[in-house]
Amino acid sequence: MKRPLILVSNDDGITSKGIRHLVETMKSLGEVVVVAPNSPQSGMGHAITIGNTLRLDPTDIYGSDVQAYECSGTPADCVKLAKHHVLKDRNADLIVSGINHGSNTSISVLYSGTMSAAIEGAVEGVPSIGFSLCDYGHDADFDHTLPYVKAIAEQVLKTGLPKYTTLNVNFPPKRNEDLKGVKICRQAHAKWQEEFDQRYDPNGRRYFWMAGNFVNHDKGEDNDEWAIANNYVSVVPCQFDLTAHHTISVLNDEWDINIK
């Protein structure tokens, strides 16, 4: 039987530890093609490159059995270039992004370059998954995530996903106890409470450094923050349609705008 075609990308860059683990895991499931940024692109959200050049260079970083390219653009650029140039007349069966160094739970899904690659795959109608490990350390241990990465990818290859849907998968950091399993859940109601530290460069010119704290307002036990805190793998189905459908009828009923 023909092996599935799996496109791999990320936002930490093509040389990151997380994507190496993801590539090796996906090689056991199908033919792997990699298109990933040539430098870190964390926090880029769904940015795309307009008005500047995009460079795409082949690399043998993963060996001769993996077709791989490093791209000068964003994660969303990588998926677009993969579809329209690298794969050309071939269609990916699955797009996976990550494994990200750091959490992409809750509101972070909006800022995440990891998830933007997966969401771009969903825009193209391809089943897509973003994987993230809630550990920012450069020496983070990914080993406990890999059986779940493989199992979730296998499940999506087997059963597919509703069209235009992607999965946001987050793993707790390595702990003394084994992971408890998978929780299908919702995005937690939480946000970053930003602070801007005003500083001055050696020439006396003012600049700002963004800092702040993550604040979780959600007391439920059905959300991704609760799952991670309780040592579960969180799986949140996401969509790129941001329409607040429940508000349409409210506005139609309550608004009365007449311009004369």
Q: Are 82 and 35 in contact (CB under 8 A)?
A: yes
57 marked ligand binding residue: no
12 marked ligand binding residue: yes
How far, in Å, CA of 189 to CA of 227, rounded? 13
Closest CA to 96 of 163, 38, 154, 44: 154
Between the alpha carbon of residue 228 and those of residues 17, 19, 190, 224, 234, the distances in Å are 21, 21, 14, 6, 6
Q: Are 185 and 170 in contact (CB under 8 A)?
A: no
Per-residue buried b or exposed e for 231-252, using 16+ beta carbons within 10 Å of the residue's own CB: bbbbbbebeeeeeeeeeeeeee
Place of tokens 């493989």: 150
Say whether 171 sits in a helix, a strand or coil: strand
Q: Are 119 and 46 in contact (CB under 8 A)?
A: yes
168 marked ligand binding residue: no
11 marked ligand binding residue: yes
Distance, C-alpha 91 to centroid of its chain: 20
List of residues 6+ apart from 23 with CB closer than 8 A = 8, 32, 34, 62, 66
Closest CA to 20 of 63, 81, 76: 63
Binding-site entries for a divalent metal cation: 11-12, 42, 100
Q: Which residues are annotated as a binding site?
A: 11-12, 42, 100
